[in-house]
Amino acid sequence: MTHGHDEAFDHADVAPGDEHEEGGAGLRVLGYLAGLGLAILLTATSFFVAGTDLVWEPSIPVALVVLAIAQMGVHLVFFLHITTGPDNTNNVLALAFGVLIVILVMAGSLWIMANLNHNMMPMDRFMQMQR
Amino acid sequence: MSDTAIAYPGSDPRQLRSMAGAVAHSGPASKRIVTAYGFWIFILSDMVMFSAFFATYAVLLGQTAGGPSGHDLFDLRNVAVETAFLLASSFSCGLASIAADTRSTIWFQLAMAVTCAFGLGFLAIEGNEFASLVARGAGPTRSAFLSAFFTLVGCHGLHVSAGILWLLTMMAQVFAKGFRADIQRRILCFALFWHALDIIWIAVFTVVYLIGSAR
């Protein structure tokens, strides 16, 4: 990736989406092909697991979530070029904060709503009290 | 009082700060980094918005109000084709960014056209699915589950539609203005947007379709 390396003072950072390596176009295409292959593999596994009887049934949703998170990682690394290198610190920190908020919103909503649902009086008893 | 400050220039906090700054960094980041980083923050906030829709869908998954559930409605073969289309368009979008970096106009326009074709194919399948759901009486007004479904998947579809408009704009701008530095920054932001849409689709086909059709 040539951009961001033209100016000497930019060596410490890489823009999100830009690749760090100076490799040629052929090497970069290979990187995208590797990402595509892994993504196809994980997607095919997801669809197979969802429709099969070979896996213990209660484990299927957990397996699907794990496969999805793995595929998101593949997309982040091979398509968005987010790395753990020192030139990506800002990008990774912003991503980490975003992931934290996403987890809080999703897990918090599910937890609170399940709790409310559990503590709510059954509807038939509620109707009796209304009379 | 002011005499002591002059006598010891090192005690002047402004001077200290400027000296420390000269050691820590030697100037602002380039415009490409600033622009892409700002857009990266937008994409992450967009994902936070989507997480609220996902939480809504997960909470309302069982609230079908006696109507059809995901198991009765979803056609997983359709979803697999949609997934393949979006993944292929993400790949050709990556090829378009490589072509933009090597300043190859023909390959850029070709890769963007392929990206656009797969994106339009995805939208056609999704529109078809929505139309058939409404025709079968399973529209967004049928139950809380279907309201959440149409909101979440429809919001992703709107993002894809906006992305296709942006894609066509970038093709036109490269055609009219060439690979100028500001056009290159827009191409970088567009690539971030398009790849992010594919990441959100991973969550959609897993949570909405595969987990949603299990029960």
B66 part of contact set with chain A, CB < 8 Å = no
- pLDDT tens digit sequence for A33-71: 999 999 999 999 999 999 888 888 889 999 999 999 999
CB contact under 8 A, B101 and A3: yes
Q: Is A33 inside any structural domain? A: yes
Domain count, chain A: 1
Q: Is A66 inside any structural domain? A: yes
Q: Tell me the two tokens of residue B107.
A: 């390959």
CA distance B156 to A74: 20
Q: Is A52 inside any structural domain? A: yes
Give whole-number Cα distances, A64 to A68, A107, B31, B79, in Å: 6, 17, 40, 15
Q: Does residue A78 contact residue A32 with C-beta atoms inside 8 Å? A: yes
Q: Tell me the two tokens of residue B127.
A: 């529109």
Q: Does residue B26 contact residue A81 with C-beta atoms inside 8 Å? A: no
Q: Is A28 inside any structural domain? A: yes
Q: What is the pLDDT of residue A7?
A: 44
Mean model confidence pLDDT for chain A: 87
Q: What is the pLDDT of residue A123?
A: 75
CB contact under 8 A, A68 and B206: yes
**Residue ranges of chain A with pLDDT lower than 70?**
1-11, 21-22, 131
Q: Does residue B177 contact residue B183 with C-beta atoms inside 8 Å? A: yes
Can you tell me which residue has the tokens 């030697």? B26
CA distance B160 to B202: 14
The minimal CB distance from B36 to the residues A17, A71, A79 is found for A17
A79 contacts on B by Cβ (under 8 Å): 90, 94, 195, 198
Nearest CA in chain B to A7: B30
B54 part of contact set with chain A, CB < 8 Å = yes
For chain B, the structural domain boundaries read 30-211
Residue A25's domain comprises: 21-80
- Architecture of domain B30-211 in this structure: Up-down Bundle (1.20)
The minimal CB distance from A10 to the residues B33, B56, B87 is found for B33
Q: pLDDT tens, position by position, for chain B (215 residues)?
A: 444 444 444 444 454 444 444 445 567 889 999 999 999 999 999 999 999 999 999 999 988 889 899 999 999 999 999 999 999 999 999 999 999 999 999 999 999 999 999 999 999 999 999 999 999 999 999 999 999 999 999 999 999 999 999 999 999 999 999 999 999 999 999 999 999 999 999 999 999 999 998 85
CA distance B27 to A73: 33
Alpha carbon B140 to chain centroid distance?
24
CB contact under 8 A, B40 and A101: no
Q: What is the pLDDT of residue A19?
A: 85
Q: Does residue B138 contact residue B146 with C-beta atoms inside 8 Å? A: yes
Q: What is the pLDDT of residue B22?
A: 47
Q: How far is A125 from chain B (nearest CA, A)?
A: 20
A7 contacts on B by Cβ (under 8 Å): 30
| ipTM for the assembly | 0.84
